[in-house]
Structure 1
Amino acid sequence: MRPAYRHVVTTLSARTGPSAPARPDGAAGRTPDTPPRSRLRTLDGLRFLAAAGVVVYHWTARESTAWGEASGDQLPAVGSVAIYFSLAPELFFVISGFVILWTAWGRSVPAVVASRVARLYPAYWAALALTGFLLLVLWPQGKDVSLGQVLVNATLLQSVMGVDHVDGVYWTLWAELRFYLLVVLLVAVGLTRRRVLAFAAVWPVVAVVAARQDWSLLDTLTVGQYAPFFAGGMALFLVWRDGHALVPWLVVVGNAALGVWSAALGKGSTLDRTTAFDADPVVLALVSVGCFAAVAVAALTPLARFDRPWLTSVGALTYPLYLVHLFWGWWVIDLVEPHVPAAVAVLLAAAVSPALAAAIHHGVERRLNPPLRRAVEQGLTAVAQRLPRSRRRSSAGSAD
């Protein structure tokens, strides 16, 4: 990459904020006279829709003692459709592949690590505290957990330590955390279009083989069967950033096919265990492909110009809502279900969980994320400055 262009990329990145690397002239969706977008609000809205899908699936289709033994009999028409929303986490992963690569492009390792730590942990700690209090004090019959388990979960490394998740939805955060580590390694090496394309093409194949062969360590390090969704999102980002081209689209299509084979079709057996409904494998495959298609439509079509601030406001609740909805929603359902129709019970749960999510966002995320990010970045930068010059140079990402 030429020094002059590197300077332009760095300057524009500083102006447009932590999630807005510069896009070269001629990139998809803009002209040379159009400034780079600081965010795609359509992706914010899509994330919220994915979270809503997870919520509906958990409350209407998944077996739970909150509904009694016959959970599937409460809202069968909704539940039979909601089982396909169980693929919403895969949609999250495609969005993450797109957005995290966007966030990382042109930034240093300390900046990328700091942004991910600040984004991931404060809301998680708040949600864990709320769910831990619920299950330890208010509703111990909801799930058998211990204080020690809650404390280990606070590290987000419970899977490494062999400790169960306090809330089952935390499994996606473990997948995200491993993906972040891989992105940080890419940034340390130096982000270029060619490297990202090669990585997004090869990494998912290795990950899926490791998952299929039950090579546990490699499976853990490579994010296993979910790697194709992250990698497909990364390739879609390159299409958005640089314009349509054959190779990145081949990477997207290949990862979509790999995602269907490795993850989507396996959902059927999981749904058989956790719901009262039978999933159609063809529909599961179509929904899996739809995860890639939805991100492509949100980012690469005229819909991307739907730049409404309320989408960002709604999208800001996605993460905390995802973290707190499961057991708090089930608790509300458990309280009211004997006295009201099932649909009313779900609506009441739908009033409580977003309120908790809003409290976490406004009371925790908006207050703690900026200072935590600054502190982590300053600390890591100070460490990087003590490294030998050659290693220090590798701590900054580069864009081609």
Structure 2
Amino acid sequence: MAEATVSTSLVPPGALTGAPPAGSPDGQVARTPRLVALDGLRFFAAVGVMLYHYTVRNSQAWGQPPAEVFPQLGSWVVYFALGPEMFFVLSGFVILMTAWGRSVANVAASRIARLYPAYWAGVLLTGALLLWIWPEGKNVTPGQVGVNLTMFQSLFEVDHVDGVYWTLWTELRFYALILVLTAIGVTRHRVLVFATAWPAAALVADVTGPQWLRVVLVTEYAPLFAAGMVLYVIMRSGPSRAAWLLVAANTAAAVWLVVPNQLAMQARNTDATPSAVTFGVLVVACVALVAVAGLTRVSRMDARWLTAAGTLTYPLYLIHEHWGWWGISKLHPGLPPAATLAVVMTLALVMAAAIHVGVERTLGPRLRRGVQGALERLPSVRSLVVPGPQVR
């Protein structure tokens, strides 16, 4: 995921109102109304990723290639591999929303508190599964689990305990760029300039840049984040021809970068032969769906069940893969494939709910307050205050 997730309750994954409202005791502006349609998009994207991992991605769980277990299903479920790309567009929209008009300390504390509690639970639970319960599922070490708890394992060239963690490293780098923009001051003009220059630099770096620059600029996914950011600007302060052209340009750049990457990934990890054209159309759809959910009447829908589903998205994304494969390996000899799939998906949802209630709700607010207080005591951070609501 993916925020995860970032967020409207998660990351990909986070919460639309993950940071305290500025003007409340912790901030300076009014609380942003929750856009439950974005919760729904994120949740269905996470469920799609879960289906992809269980029915398309090659693993030893079924005892045979998933393509032989689900010969028809995989031909269209393979496109759910684009769930992380949807997360990234959503993150661009929602993380800019949570950063606008807030201090660096507030934004940093908000993101740390949203990302880490569920992530720590996910790493420890999956680590325990692979170390002691199902070691044949994947070869991991206690040291690897320990490094993964930092979320910076990619910097140390340590493998992810769970492959889905790659999206969190992508999100972290985006958050770092948002913190830089927050320190400068978030305005409409600056966001549009940023959403123009950053993806352009990322495209150049993707072709000619050194590896460190490609890492800093999040080259493969910069246009997706940027498209989401511009959509939020349009929602906040109205459309313009320049803004919509920027959304279109970033969407085209995303298609250019994502489609070859997805085709190569599916060739490595599955027996599917997806269409490049379909992948391209669906990348455009990722941006279009966020636009519909955030900018049309759909944004005013009131569906509390989508909000509840949204709270499960991040922990579901973190926990589903290896625990689901373990469940499949235990159940499929005695149950039909469809029944096995239903049971393991239910197991993943129950585990996600337990993490949300038992970890995120209890540890998240305390961690946010502690981190924000610690950051605000640092002179270098205390000086980075927001002078007031910046609308233009």
Q: Same fold (TM over 0.5)?
A: yes
* 2:51 aligned residue: 56
Write out per-residue CA displacement over residues 82-131 of structure 1, whole angstroms, 9 at most, x where no aligned residue: 11110110000000000000000000000000000000000000011100
Distance 1:152 1:304, change over 3 A: same
Give the number of equivalent residue pairs.
Answer: 371
Give the corresponding residue for 1:396: 386
Does the alignment pair 1:140 with 2:135? yes
1:98 paired residue among 79, 93, 99: 93
Structure 2 partner of 1:270: 265
1:223 counterpart residue number = 218
Equivalent in 163, 170, 176 of residue 175 of structure 1: 170
Q: 2:23: which partner in 1?
A: 14
Inter-CA distance 40–21: structure 2 relative to 1 (3 Å threshold): farther
What is the Cα deviation at residue 392 of structure 1? Answer: 4.7
Q: Which runs of 5+ in 1 are unaligned?
A: 1-10, 23-35
Give the letter for the 1:55 counterpart.
M
Q: Residue 231 of structure 2: which of 232, 236, 241 is its match?
A: 236
More helix by share: 1
AA aligned opposite 2:311: A
Residue aligning to 1:306: 301
* Contact 1:41 1:304 (8 Å CA) reproduced: yes
Find runs of 4+ consecutive structure 1 residues off by over 3 angstroms.
15-18, 391-395
Select the residue among 335, 344, 364 that pairs with 1:369. 364
Structure 1, residues 4-59: CA drift from partner, whole Å, max 9, x if none?
Answer: xxxxxxx97435998x966xxxxxxxxxxxxx742111111111011011001111
Q: CA deviation at 1:212?
A: 2.9
1:195 aligns with 2:204: no
Query: 357-366 or 76-85: which moved more?
Result: 76-85
Residues in 1 aligned to 2:246 and 2:336: alpha-carbon distance in whole angstroms: 48
Task: Tell me what 1:246 maps to.
Answer: 241
Offset at residue 351 of structure 1 (A): 1.2
Q: CA RMSD in A?
A: 1.8
Among 92, 100, 108, which residue is 2:103 paired with?
A: 108
Residue identity opposite 2:328 in structure 1 = I
Letter in 2 for 1:322: Y
**1:187 touches 1:395 (CA, 8 Å); kept in 2?**
no
Matched letter for residue 265 of structure 2: T
Contact 2:311–2:356 (Cα < 8 Å) also in 1: yes
Contact 2:375-2:382 within 8 A present in 1 as well: no
Secondary structure class of the residue paired with 1:38: coil
- The AA in structure 2 aligned to 1:332 is G
Distance 1:106 1:92, change over 3 A: same
TM-score with structure 2 setting the length: 0.91
**Aligned AA for 1:229?**
L
Q: Indicate whether 1:40 and 2:35 are aligned.
A: yes
Instruction: Please give the TM-score of this superposition, normalised by the length of structure 1.
Output: 0.89
Q: Which runs of 5+ in 2 are unaligned?
A: 1-19
Please point out which of 280, 287, 301 is paired with 1:292.
Answer: 287
- Worse overlay, 356-365 or 61-70: 61-70
Distance 1:166 1:172 in 2: 13
